A and B are shown apart, each in its own frame.
Chain A
Amino acid sequence: MAIKNIVVIGGGPAGLEASAQLHYMGYNVFLIEKNDKLGGHLGKWDRLFPQGIQSEELLNPLIKNTAGVKTFVNTEVVNINKLEKQYNIILSNGITILARAVLFATGFDLFPASKKEEYGYGIYDKVITNADLEIFFRTKSDSRIVNPLKIGFVHCVGSRDEKTGNRQCSKVCCATAVKQACEIKEVFPNAEVICFYMDLRMFGRKYEDLYLTAQKKYGVRFIRGRVSEVGENINHQLIVKAEDTLSSKPLKVTLDLLVLMCGMNNSSEGIKTASLIGLKADEDGFFETLNPMQGSIFSHKKGVFYAGAATGPKTLPETINEGRAAAICINNYIKEEINE
């Protein structure tokens, strides 16, 4: 078979890593990105937990390694047709690609915070999201953040919340919140910082160290209880209510800034594209994989693969490893097809 084309949909960390590896293996890789820049959410983040590495330190080599890959930005997949052993992929820029395999590295959407109406995102000026705060860390400018003296972080916004349709834990928000709590203390050393959590899921290597640092070095207060409602007082400060479940008492506090730790939903664009070849999302909204243990890279369609947060919330190292694993799986799949 002469055709060595592979289409990778999504130019975030998973798509970039998979593209680079597949290119290295000698395939003809087409990387499709709907936005004008590669990098996905990583490109908008400032520093990464647990070590605080700058996002560029990770992203720049990922992009550099895709030098030989045919990359289309500002491009969407318009249609996918399954031929006998190939896929015919039509792009919004008019190009059609005949590919042996397709990789969905379509990533995630940040949970839309305004859906949690009781937190008042988009209604109260001083309520922002984790993504907004990362932009502030990069630019040091946000009209909503003016010398806050009391800052709160709400974990599990749109996660572990059946009413928003998301029963799952988004995995990375706890560590992100603790990281951001430390960082904001660096920017505003006199501020009092509170994290409202339900369970603190510091599961990864060195995450617990980050938690200890937040407590000991930065004096971050951890209150076990989910924020129930937010209001605004006459000075435009936020009145935040939660239960301090460790003392079984309701608690309220006046804050100058509240950061909502929005979780991950499967990418709505990704779902739309996948539906073109009849691939479905599971009840949690993420794509259903062939086998939850060994086959998380495989879809139910031969020749279509997954990598990254499209199959559930993941950390960056996991996402990058999956991109690499997907490259191996695709390579094996094509070799087997040739031998058949």
Chain B
Amino acid sequence: MNKFGYSLSPASVINLDNADKIKFKELIDLEPDVLKCMACGSCVSSCSAVNFTNSSLRSAILSLQNGLPEKAYEYLKGCMLCGKCTMICPRGINTRRLIISIFQTYNFKK
């Protein structure tokens, strides 16, 4: 702590220059359909875990694109792989498999 009683506030800005593109490329190679997401939010609105966790596949994909895998993990750790979002996704993304692929690529703990 410094003597001023206040300090520099952490920047909230997303700096895309720092995003890990190599990892995201690995994910694309494993699961090309991740690119098809158009952020409609159907996956979140139909999610059976969303009422009691902050699950959001949409936000998780966005966080990965923005280079924030820790945040993506927070959005996915409550997922029970029920697969309901797979039924709903209008772009036909195999969301269940995508979530597993994200866990594998980014070494998320289950």
Q: Do A and B come from one complex?
A: yes
Q: Does chain A have a CB within 8 A of B105?
A: no
- The bracket for how many chain A residues form the interface is 10 to 19
Q: Does chain B have a CB within 8 A of A215?
A: yes
**Chain B residues within an 8 Å CB radius of A70:** none
Residue of A nearest to B11 (CB): A250
Task: Determine the main DSSP class of B at the interface with A.
Answer: helix
Residues of B participating in the A interface, judged by any CB pair closer than 8 Å? 12-17, 21, 28, 32-33, 35-36, 38-39, 58-59, 62-63, 65-66, 91
Are A253 and B66 neighbours in the complex by a CB distance under 8 Å? no
Given contacts A194-B16, A253-B16, 12 further A-B contacts (CB under 8 A): A216-B36, A219-B35, A221-B65, A244-B14, A246-B59, A247-B59, A247-B62, A247-B63, A250-B14, A251-B14, A252-B14, A252-B17
28 residue pairs of the A-B complex, CB under 8 angstroms, read: A194-B16, A211-B38, A212-B36, A215-B38, A216-B33, A216-B36, A219-B28, A219-B35, A221-B65, A244-B14, A244-B62, A244-B66, A246-B59, A246-B62, A247-B14, A247-B63, A247-B66, A249-B12, A249-B13, A249-B14, A249-B66, A250-B14, A251-B14, A251-B15, A252-B15, A252-B16, A252-B17, A254-B17
Are B35 and A250 neighbours in the complex by a CB distance under 8 Å? no
**Chain B residues within an 8 Å CB radius of A322:** none
Which 7 pairs of residues, A with B, have the shortest CB-CB distance? A253-B16, A251-B14, A250-B13, A215-B35, A254-B17, A249-B14, A216-B35
Residues of A participating in the B interface, judged by any CB pair closer than 8 Å? 192, 194, 211-212, 215-216, 219, 221-222, 224, 244, 246-247, 249-254
Are B14 and A216 neighbours in the complex by a CB distance under 8 Å? no
**Chain B residues within an 8 Å CB radius of A212:** 36, 91
Q: Tell me the complex Cα distance, A253–B17, Å.
A: 6
Q: Tell me the complex Cα distance, A251–B12, Å.
A: 9
**Chain B residues within an 8 Å CB radius of A244:** 14, 62, 66
